[in-house]
A and B are shown apart, each in its own frame.
Chain A
Amino acid sequence: MASGIEPGAELLRIENISLSFGGVKALTDVSFNIKRGEVRAIIGPNGAGKSSMLNVINGFYHPQVGEVWYCGEKRKGAKPHQIAHQGIARTFQNIALFKGMSTLDNIMTGRSTHMAANMLSQAIWRGTAEKEEIKNRRYVEEIIDFLEIQSIRKTPVGRLPYGLQKRVELGRALAAEPVLLLLDEPMAGMNVEEKEDMSRFILDVQSEFGTTIAIIEHDMGVVMDISDRLVVLDYGKKIGDGTPEEIRNNQAVIDAYLGVPHE
């Protein structure tokens, strides 16, 4: 579906999105776009509606007003799992790993969109099922290698330290070979080294797999470093959009952030 889109061309367009929960407005008339292959940051003070934005993009929330255009097609009420199949993967602000499963299984689950063996062949574990399992295991192993988490391959994720869990979650998202990868505060609560690692991984992902990345992050330093363009939200409204340079000199943004502590 995304194959037609050249790097630099528009991959996703958000048009006048408004979203509210029982009267509470989360997003008001937000519009912006994401170009193929770029790192697009969505920033803003707490409660600015950043996460809601991601939830709209991957179809978990359905805005009352506005349209989402993906790969040049207007989206009509697709379910999250269908959207995942269209090549949008994400990580979550508070880690949403499958606690009962090992690192390997978590990442394998992220691979579901690429597996299709029917129930019968899975039941007897012959033919397509086994082949496909092995094929995808190999791909997953490449991700494990990429994220340097070989040593925790078979550890239940529940036992892993926070930083590693974040990494596994990234791995799970990568396993889907996404066209567009949504990262919701991938570095929240990390120390300097961990943040450096994570930024390195994110940039490597972009260069290795040519993945388009939309990222929410509070650490301004990091965001300004790794992103090509930023959208700034405040109280559900867009108050800025442009390159790190432009954003730095954007009065509205500066005001919005005045007094707002960014960790």
Chain B
Amino acid sequence: MNALLPFAVLIWPLLLGLVPAVPRWRPHALWILPLAPLPALGLALAGAPGAIFLPDLLLGVHLAAVPGGALYLGMTALVWAAAGVHAALTLPPGPKAGALTGFWCLTLAGNLGVFLAGDVVTFYLAFAAVSLAAWFLVVHERTKKALAAGKLYITLAILGEAALLIGLMIGAAAAEDLRVSSVRAALPDAPLGPFGIAALLVGFGIKAGMIPLHLWLPVAHPAAPVPGSAVLSGAIVKAGLIGMILFIPVASGWGSLLVVAGLIGAFAAALWGLTQQDPKAVLAYSTVSQMGLLLTLVGAGSSHVAFYALHHGLAKAAMFLCVGVVAAAATPRARLLTLTIAGIMALSVSGFPLSGGALAKLASKEGLSDPLVLALTLSSMTTTLVLGWFMLRLARHHATRGHRPVWPGLFAGAAFLAALALLVPWFLWERVTGLQGTYPLGQANILAGLWPVMLGLVAVAVLRARAMPSYPPGDLLALLEMLRARLILVQKAAPQSRRNFTIGHRRRILRILLRSRRADSFFQPWPHAGFLLTVVTLAFAISIWLPN
């Protein structure tokens, strides 16, 4: 029975996702969103037990939680559940909501699936589900902005899928087996191993927002509805992360590559976030930055990536929800409360001592080389900077529209996530890190956490007085846009003369054919034919006579 649990966890959201297909149920469909991740949460709380092999399904489906699966699954389930509540409260019911519900559930199933997949095909399927179905979360508003963002998102997602497919196939071909463990083992030594790994890096990198493949993140987040952004940033990007963990052999040079790319992302994205006006865009850059840190950890072989990811997921989701909550806040008090929650979360992510984020940072510094520890510490400063900027932008964020009466519910969701982000790391500390429960209370640790945040806060205060340059989200995109315009110009200049050529050709053939009629009239008159007949007669006679 236990064995079926992972399977049930995946099937449940898929089944729920079909609910809106029934027209009568469609108006209330949004309310199933909070229900969909519950079995997964249960599985996580139970410690993610169970493993199952379904030989007939796909190319043989293996399901079992990945290492650290419980953390990922729990975080994912919580983020999705809270976002679900938010969505159910804020989004207007209707056909769009029905579609969203269906694909929300599909995305969720995929998101959970990447943490449960035991074979590459299932993994690929889950990855595709989370990546492609999430498109519906991005474009939900159907505004021009959302659709443009969706286009970028889906393009990159598909490119990522393609890259992933290459990598997985190279691995599977080398392993002659489809299980994740075999593929991972076979990849480094496969004939096309480096190429495959590079492809995987691209595939996962796109999802995980690795520089320079992060383009979609800052574009998609502001466009998506708030709960969508919350799951995108909180949970979905972690699918890329788990891919990196599962498949990239960090022991070889690939780890360093990840570290470098991760660090560049961590700092550059945070700083670039300062050029954004939309709080969600700022948050998106923060996500790129945080994911950079996570990738650095992966590349460095840290064993507490899951712990860090857990906190980041919860906190980032809470912050995104706060954007929605602020917009729905009717009274200054509500607004203040929300901003407080968001501020606490910002501090937590920055690693303010004793916060959940500080614990995550502390744990992940374990076993890292000094430069990396320093980088991590410094990143706290940039994080504070960007999140401080976020708070500034958030404070100026006003509701354009919203369901004000639902504010308490919305607030509860965000506050719930925030509370979890603060508390769960404490709760799990010993179990996960094996360190003493009082370790984070150590003075050195507190100090180490405090000074970068303080410095960051000072910088924020300075920034507040300055006018920051403002760019639209999507940095490198502008470059690509230029290239595309060039290409279109070239295409338009191509000549179109082929058709005329064929017609002329045909006419010429016809003329030749018609000429045959005139040629035939040479044989027509009897004197010609008769003369030829004589010639043929004699030719036959001679040709017979000569050899005999």
Say if A and B assemble together: no
